[in-house]
Amino acid sequence: MKLFFVSTILFFILKSTQGSDWPTYGGPDRNHQSQEKTLRLDWGNEEPQVLWKLEVGLGYSSVVEANGLAYTQGYKDNRNTLYCVNSQNGKVLWTHTYESGLGDKYFQGGTRSTPTIFKNKVYLQGHEGPLFCLDANTGKVIWQRHLVDELDGNCPTWGYSGSPLVVENKVIVQTGSSDGSLVALNITTGKEVWRGGTAEAGYASPYLRASNPSEIVVFNQYGLSLHDLQTGEEKVSYQHKTRYEVNAAQPMDLGDQVLVASGYGKGAALLDLKSSQPKVLWESDGVACQMASLIHLNGYAYGIHGQTGANAKRATLFCLELSDGRKIWEERGFGVGTVILIDKTLAVLSDRGELALVKASSNGFNELVRFHVLGGKNNWTPLSYVNGRMHCRSSSGSWVCLSMGK
């Protein structure tokens, strides 16, 4: 078993270093980071070449890419559609469509969950509960389940949003059932393997701890939960509730420590997880990450503090010293946008569709360049970067692929 875990870690390290795939939400390690050193930083008066554009329908599913194929899903006319395209030219190779409601509770609605690619299979979740395993090359349905109708799930207010976690022949998803809120299914058949926990489903995606890949990190409506990969048993929990039960940003894995952050007036907490009972090292209501996940580099965190709605313009991009939770710098002008890290550069997408490259440095805010790449508003979907290609997706459904490599 130890050999398997070591092999798994080495595999993901190799994949992220090569930069050949972005197979699930947040990239190969689900931490919104790419180790590629291909990003062009000096643009002068030039702008990135648009390789291709595609309209895919309403929603917030981010883009994944593996083996030269790129995928995302969008909503139109009471249906969600998963698109598989050639990542070089944007040619649609196949689609998979299934019935779905809009789900526009206090926002424009559409798809939420990002698909996961694993060994030539696509694992796709819909916001009302359907879960599919598809052939990644043809779109053929291999098996399907339903989180509510079959697995006794309780769909959260804003719909299922997490990306399926695929590991060790298991597909792991949050159902929100009071009788096993986290469920593992057999990767080949879709049959249930185990279930554990009782908390209602949150909006983040489960992932394996970097320091202990036998444990699954889940950010649900109750707060943070750690589950055993083999049995699903909940081993550790920490209450971190918000006014509307929304925990959406990915917890930041720091080895023996985890940083959780939410909006809605709740803020952030740095937790020490060396014992069975989490110890709070610091808390701050000045680090309120409503949707965008935090980025870690060299002892500092970078993220978006703020809230959607009337005060969205007051949101800030910030740099945080992790040891004590002190903000080093912050800058307005991105709204409630999203952030990924490419090598040592932040790629920030504002909620109005502007793409900025910002130096990831504690020495102060240093914007290198900014482009307007998407229209509309409420652009809350994080970027994806693969082999010099930057995938940008708007809430209204415009998928733009830019050439941003050297």
Gap between the Cα atoms of 205 and 172, Å rounded:
10
If one compares 260 and 18, the residue with the highest pLDDT of the two is 260
Neighbours of 85 (CB within 10 A): 23
The pLDDT assigned to 297 comes to 98
The pLDDT assigned to 7 comes to 38
Structural contact between residues 246 and 158, judged by C-beta atoms closer than 8 angstroms: yes
Residues 49-90 pLDDT 10s: 999 999 999 999 999 999 999 999 999 999 999 999 999 999
The per-residue pLDDT of the chain, averaged, comes to: 94
The pLDDT assigned to 237 comes to 96
Gap between the Cα atoms of 16 and 12, Å rounded:
6
The pLDDT assigned to 20 comes to 76
Query: Is the confidence at residue 13, as pLDDT, over 50?
Result: no
Q: Exposed (0-12), middle (13-18) or buried (19+): which is 114, by Cβ within 10 Å?
A: buried
The pLDDT assigned to 108 comes to 94
Instruction: Dump strand ranges (E) for 314-373.
Output: 316-321, 326-332, 338-342, 345-349, 354-359, 367-372
Task: State pTM to two decimals.
Answer: 0.94
Q: Report the first-to-last Cα separation within the chain, whole angstroms.
A: 41
Give the per-residue SS3 of 257-278: EEEEEECCCCEEEEEECCCCCC
Q: What is the per-residue DSSP string for 178-223? A: SS-SEEEEETTT--EEEEE--PPP-SS--EE-SS-TTEEEEE-SSE
pLDDT classification of 276: cutoffs 50, 70, 90: confident
